[in-house]
């Protein structure tokens, strides 16, 4: 958050640790001034990318020293929590809300701009309050837009999810799961990871791909290599990964 420092955030962590929660979800504030112009007022107060990595390092060291497991990306859980158990069994799931043990469940969201998910598509509610209530008053669903997934979208969604949940990809297991030769289908994407392997973020073998401890800090960036839409996106469409 704006004005946050490692010192202030460590105090926050200590206060929350006193409550002994089962899980933590810790992630960066999404700075998207091209969508929310009022956020421009906070730009000078935002932590730098280096400070944000320092905050993540502090969080990992602090929580793991207190017995929490780093599930990945933005989640931490106690060793007996169902998220940690699912990760050990390689049954952990992830959707746009975060990590979950409920694979294949539909997500129904309510309220302005809320995003829902089913197996074949996503849809988002209207973002403007008058339009949202106007649709409801007219007895209509307050839908703004939707996205129907192709077969390729589903292959990539599953691949990205397994990478984010397991922090590895077993080529034989993925081929069986997807019904396609994984190394052949994603040959270009795997080749594109050579620079990340050189930087010590991943390790590639003939049998699979493994994310290193350093790579866990940048798992979003690694997963983006399997996103077919990345190259077509506008530079400032989403918040920064760091």
pLDDT in tens, 3-54: 889 999 999 999 999 999 999 998 888 888 888 888 888 888 888 888 988 9
Characterize the bridge pairing of strands 68-72 and 208-211.
Answer: unpaired
CATH class, range 152-232: mainly alpha
Locate the domains of the chain by residue range. Answer: 6-99, 115-148, 152-232
Closest-CA residue to 4 (of 27, 24, 25, 36): 27
Rg, Å, the chain Cα set: 20
pLDDT in tens, 96-150: 778 888 877 888 999 999 999 988 999 999 999 999 999 999 999 999 999 999 9
Q: In what order do the strands lie in the sheet with 168-170?
A: 168-170, 208-211, 202-204
């Amino acid at each position: 958050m704006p004005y946050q420092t490692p010192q202030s955030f460590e105090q926050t962590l200590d206060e929350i640790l006193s409550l002994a929660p089962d899980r933590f979800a810790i992630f960066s504030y999404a700075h998207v001034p091209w969508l929310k112009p009022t956020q421009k007022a906070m730009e000078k107060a935002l932590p730098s990318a280096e400070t944000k990595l320092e905050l993540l390092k502090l969080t990992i060291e602090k929580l793991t020293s207190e017995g929490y497991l780093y599930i990945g990306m933005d989640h931490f859980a106690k060793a007996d929590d169902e998220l940690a158990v699912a990760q050990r069994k390689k049954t952990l799931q992830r959707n746009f809300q975060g990590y979950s043990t409920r694979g294949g469940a539909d997500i129904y969201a309510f309220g302005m701009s809320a995003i829902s998910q089913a197996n074949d598509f996503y849809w988002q509610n209207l973002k403007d309050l008058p339009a949202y209530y106007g649709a409801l008053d007219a007895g209509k669903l307050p839908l703004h837009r939707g996205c129907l997934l192709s077969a390729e979208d589903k292959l990539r969604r599953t691949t990205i999810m397994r990478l984010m949940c397991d922090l590895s990809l077993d080529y034989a297991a993925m081929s069986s799961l997807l019904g396609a030769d994984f190394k052949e289908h994603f040959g270009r994407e795997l080749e594109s990871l050579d620079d990340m392997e050189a930087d010590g973020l991943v390790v590639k073998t003939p049998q699979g791909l493994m994310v290193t401890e350093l790579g866990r800090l940048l798992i979003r960036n690694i997963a983006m290599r399997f996103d077919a839409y990345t190259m077509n996106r506008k530079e400032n469409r989403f918040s920064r990964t760091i």
